[in-house]
Amino acid sequence: MSLGADLQTEWGRKWIHLATFAVPVWIAYAPDPLRRRGLLLAFVVVLAVDLLRLSWKAFRQRLEPHIGAYLRDNERRGLTSVHYLTLTALVLAWVTTRSIAATAMAFLVVGDAAAALVGRRFGTPRRWGKSFEGSAACFVACMAVGLLFLPGHPGSIAAAALAATLVEALPLPLDDNLSVPWVSAGVLQLLL
């Protein structure tokens, strides 16, 4: 795949990722108990669709033309990473405050997309396939959305944004959809 085709596929994948910005907005503004029930429903539906895709050939053949280009190689043979995102949102909504859960999920959605798009377009991969430019974009994006969900706490947001950026850049064995929000939520929980 050429760099142009690779970048185009990543743009499509990240636009889908950015559409999940509805998750932190839902966490922040949906009334209880609808907030947690909606997140549970999202997780169950995403997981069910993924399991159907993997186990039912006719379903996979109908779905793959629409999403196939956006799947990573490991997702073609296994579960997609979006179920990690919905599971993390669900659990964070139960174990931490509304504002911390929303901020941590926004860091994942916006920060990861910014890192990938800026890094692939303008960056020169340095270590582990990541670039300084992508990491800088991740940090700035996390700061921006963090101040939206937690205004009045710029120091705490900066610390959590830095933690999210480092976790996104490191070659951890854990999926970013798990590690970025959990680490950033932990930092926010400690500092607020």
Whole-number Å distance between alpha carbons of 179 and 71? 20
pLDDT confidence of residue 19: 83
Question: Given this model, what pLDDT does residue 1 score?
Answer: 44
**Beta bridge partner(s), residue 130:** 127
Q: With the C-alpha atoms ordered 118, 155, 18, 104, is the resulting torsion angle positive or negative?
A: positive
Q: Is 161 exposed, middle or buried (0-12, 13-18, 19+ CB in 10 A)?
A: buried
Range of the domain at 73: 3-191
Rounded CA gap, 22 and 163, in Å? 23
| pLDDT tens-place values along the chain, 192 residues long | 444 656 566 666 667 767 889 999 999 999 999 999 999 999 999 999 999 998 999 988 888 877 766 677 777 788 888 889 999 999 999 999 999 999 999 999 999 989 988 988 887 777 677 888 999 999 999 999 999 999 999 999 999 999 999 999 998 889 899 999 999 999 999 999
Q: How many domains does the chain have?
A: 1
| Integer angstrom CA distances of residue 95 from 47, 100, 105, 165, 184 | 21, 10, 14, 23, 14
Alpha-carbon 85 to chain mean position: 6
pTM of the model: 0.88
